[in-house]
Amino acid sequence: MFVIPFVTVLREGLEPVVFVGLNYPAYAFPLPVFGGIAAGVVVRYVMYWGGNSASLQPFLVISTCLLYLMAAGLLLWGVEPGE
């Protein structure tokens, strides 16, 4: 139950590093890496401590809205070159 999701997330996380990140010099890596780790720790604590007292419905509504915004952005990004 742990291995397949772990490998999938690891692969999806390493792809941007390999395909996008290697275009930049080595000194450009530490700030985004530590920023991502810090953001992950903050989100983990907010979800852990807030998850006990908060309702699940607002979290699902907000995450659905964010997914809609990302999908709309991807759609516009794909349609724009065809204009």
Give the residue extent of every domain in the chain. Answer: 2-78
**What separation in angstroms does the CA of 22 have from each of 4, 26, 27, 32, 59?**
26, 8, 11, 13, 35
Q: What is the pLDDT of residues 4-41, one digit of tens each?
A: 999 998 998 888 878 877 788 878 878 888 998 999 99
Q: What is the pLDDT of residues 41-76, one digit of tens each?
A: 999 998 888 777 778 888 899 999 999 999 999 999
Predicted pLDDT at 7: 93
**What separation in angstroms does the CA of 9 have from each of 28, 39, 55?**
23, 16, 27
Name the one residue in this structure whose structure tokens are 């997914």. 67
Q: For the chain, what percent of residues have pLDDT higher than 70?
A: 99
